[in-house]
Chains A and B, each alone.
Chain A
Amino acid sequence: MSTRSGADRELVIRGAHVLDPSSGLDGVMDVRISGGRVAEVGEDLHGVRELDASGLHLFPGFVDVHAHWRTPGREEEEDLESGSAAAAAGGFTGVVMMPNTDPVLDRPALVSGLVRRAERESRVRAYVAAALHAGLAGSELTEMRLLKEAGALCVSDDGPGTQNADVLRSGMLYARSAGLAVLLHCEDRSLAKGVVHDGVAAALAGVPATPASAEDAATATALVLAAETGARVHITHVSTALSAALVGFFKGRAGVTADTTPHHLTLTDDLVRTLEGLYRVNPPLRPEGDRREVIEALRDGTLDFVATDHAPHAAQRKELPLQEAAPGFLGHETAFAALYTELVLGESLPLSRLVEAMSCAPGRWVGGLGSLAVGAPADIALADLEEEWTVERESLSSRSHNSPYLGRRMRGRIVGTIVGGELVHDRMGAKLGVRT
């Protein structure tokens, strides 16, 4: 994130409903920011620069541990500027970039180069997940200790996964000794031959299908190895009922955390009946039964948090028959609104749990984020929970338009995002008042 003028100045945000489960804050109050950090939270605070946030909700900035900003290599689909603009528009103040770039982030120089570019070009805090194995090929370990020195936050083989259990076990052991968490996309490729969930929609549509066991078998393997090796393992985008249950079983037996995505929480495989390439994603959209179990696992904390798997694709990679399209959805800009609309309003998920799952828990996982405690980085999302809006391609900040929510009506919208005390996304109009 670039150093900006103004970051050191004081700012008082007045009159918002502050909600931060990590600090026990829940009520209308004012927040004073100084030196880029939270200086004071209380009533009737004033300063030279004031932001009138009355009627809005104020949360710790969201943190997304799973994003693809396509830099380096596919900047026509997304780059650090557009990816971070999309993140900021969605209230995300911290993002972890996955290593499946071109070239793959498997060497220290590549990681340090990207870290430096992100400091200059990203509007939000951007972290790097480096490859666990060279070329994401699942055979040779990367130089994890050097990667960590170069600035890598964690390691992952991302989409290809690590298909050999023995190799994965070594990777976990080495990552533990390097002090790096391992982020895992769990998918057994010997079972994953299709492009949609093997269910009713696949039967009717005649599209090559992948059984849920492709995710479940790989998740079980990863959890068993995590328990044995003692590595810090994070299972990303859990999408099935059984995988969520497996994570629950291993909580307390292994150092395991897990996330699921906004799309697996809000959409089902009914959408693939349209056969549109837009709806291809990996893991695939699941039936309603899985969706319900995943929601419950998020509600009770079995799944620790939400990550978007923000995956921009150019139109020519999505405007194809389903089985030929690239898998992946945009995620940053619609995550909060989709989850607020479908889960908080639709399923009675407490708003505080949603904030915990989008801010506090992933913030703790990254380290030092997701809290409005005094002294914490002043990373903030401001939301208007009353605003109704329709997701339209023209309004997206991403360079790509592959959102599964295009045309959907949503309630609740991020109207302002602050990183280190500075407004990096602003839909509030002229609400920043300067007192004389």
Chain B
Amino acid sequence: MSARDFISLENVGREELLEVMELARDQEEGRLGRLLEGRTVCLAFFEPSTRTAASFELAARRAGADVVSLSSGTSSISKGESLVDTVVTLDRLGMDALIIRHPAAGAASLASRHTSAAVVNAGDGCGQHPTQALLDLYALGKSLGGFEELAGRRAAIVGDILHSRVARSVIPAFGTAGIEVSLVAPATLLPREADVWRLPVLGSVDEALEWGAEVLYMLRLQKERMSGALVPSVAEYARYYGVGRRHLRPGVRVMHPGPVNRGVEIASDVVLDGSSLIPDQVSAGIAVRTAVLALATGSVERAAA
């Protein structure tokens, strides 16, 4: 993370994570107010999104920002205008933050080289999704009694790690917060060089629980990968890489970045179980994204630049 951009959580320090967490708490407790008044925030979504776009937009508006929304269905983005051209145009219109989602990894970083506005990566291909990981940390920390309570916990990240931008942000963020992480996925859904993370790779949710996972972080299995060459069947996937009621025990929390394939990653009756943090993750989105926008636009001083 450079001084103003939120593009990747690789190489982001503990102090910076803590800063976001504390600001998010301030927001939730009503201490930030209309912090973004007078700021202009632009959402440029080059691929469809419902929850992330809504979450960012609400965060910006509630904090008083002017919000401009572009999406691939309603703008020149759909006319084949290049990413760089779009960003340069937006830059000239003047904005304080550009929230960008794009189907290609690296898009946010490329955009940041063509604008003086702060760039917040709202998901780039299979690359990064930093605010998702930050809100996950916030929701998890809150359920455990605070950010400091995260250190020493064990979390298993389960599912399609190969294609997951959420995993690529959650892995370094959880690690920096002191959480021990393991990966649970068949080899077809892991990067060939998954060893680079130096994390244990386990064969099933059951093994993850034996390993001592208190957090089961489930990743969405994309429909096109549900059966065929990467996964033999939904039934087999759900048996080994899905969470069912039988996995629930005191102290185990289930997380998912959403939307959930019910009965695939998580059994239907578990999604809204008391052990599920999924609703907390969604509501943490507003607080954390307000904090991120405040830091990105310089509306509050950042401790660690």
Contacts and interface: CB of A to CB of B under 8 A. Distances in A.
Contacts of A319: 82, 84, 110
A420 B106 CA distance: 47
A275 B106 contact: yes
A207 B193 contact: no
Interface in A398-421: none
Contacts of B128: 206
B220 interface: no
Contacts, number: 78
A207 B192 contact: no
A320 B102 CA distance: 12
B230 interface: no
B194 A322 contact: no
Contact of B168 (A206, A208, A322): A206
A200 interface: yes
Interface string B139-174: 000000000000000000000000111001000000
A48 interface: no
Given A207-B106, A207-B127, A208-B126, A320 B193 contact: no
B82 A322 contact: no
A135 B168 CA distance: 41
A323 B107 CA distance: 10
Contacts of A203: 191-194, 196-197
A321 B124 contact: yes
A276 B106 contact: yes
Nearest to B128: A206
Contacts of B191: 198, 202-203, 209
A323 B105 contact: yes
B106 A321 contact: yes
A198 B193 contact: yes
A199 B193 CA distance: 5
B193 A202 contact: yes
B167 to A, nearest CB: 9
B193 A206 contact: no
Contacts of B164: 206
B10 interface: yes
B102 A321 contact: yes
Given A316-B82, A320-B83, A321-B125, A204 B196 contact: yes
B109 interface: yes
A255 interface: no
Interface string B31-53: 00000000000000000000000
Interface string A225-242: 000000000000000000
Contact of B105 (A199, A316, A322): A322
A199 B192 CA distance: 6
A86 B83 CA distance: 30
A197 to B, nearest CB: 10
A304 B193 CA distance: 31
B122 to A, nearest CB: 15
Q: Which of B82, B107, B124, B192 has the most CB of A within 10 A?
A: B192
A205 interface: yes
Contacts of B107: 321
Interface in A56-73: none
B235 interface: no
Contacts of B124: 321
Contacts of B102: 321
A211 interface: yes
A204 B83 contact: no
Contacts of B193: 198-200, 202-203
A204 B164 CA distance: 11
Contact of A276 (B10, B84, B110): B110
B272 interface: no
A324 interface: yes
A207 B126 contact: yes
Contacts of A204: 10, 168, 196
Given A206-B168, A211-B192, A322 B84 contact: no
Interface in A260-296: 274-277
Contacts of B105: 205-207, 275, 321-323
B300 interface: no
B68 interface: no
A199 B195 CA distance: 10
A205 B105 CA distance: 7
B73 to A, nearest CB: 19
Contacts of A205: 105-106, 127
A312 to B, nearest CB: 19
A217 to B, nearest CB: 15
B72 to A, nearest CB: 14
Contacts of A208: 126
A208 B125 CA distance: 9
Interface in A356-402: none
B3 interface: no
B104 interface: yes
Contact of A275 (B109, B163, B197): B109
A19 B84 CA distance: 48
B192 A320 contact: no
A204 B172 CA distance: 10
A276 B107 CA distance: 9
Interface in B190-209: 191-194, 196-197
A202 B83 CA distance: 22
A360 B110 CA distance: 42
In the A-B complex, the 3 residue pairs with the smallest Cβ-Cβ separation, listed nearest first, are: A275-B106, A203-B191, A321-B104
Given A274-B109, A321-B110, 16 more contacts: A198-B193, A200-B193, A202-B191, A205-B127, A206-B168, A207-B105, A211-B192, A275-B105, A275-B110, A277-B106, A320-B104, A321-B104, A321-B106, A321-B107, A322-B105, A322-B106
Interface of A: 198-200, 202-209, 211, 274-277, 316, 319-324
Interface of B: 10, 82-84, 102, 104-107, 109-110, 124-128, 163-165, 168, 191-194, 196-197
5 contacts: A320-B82, A321-B83, A322-B106, A323-B105, A324-B104
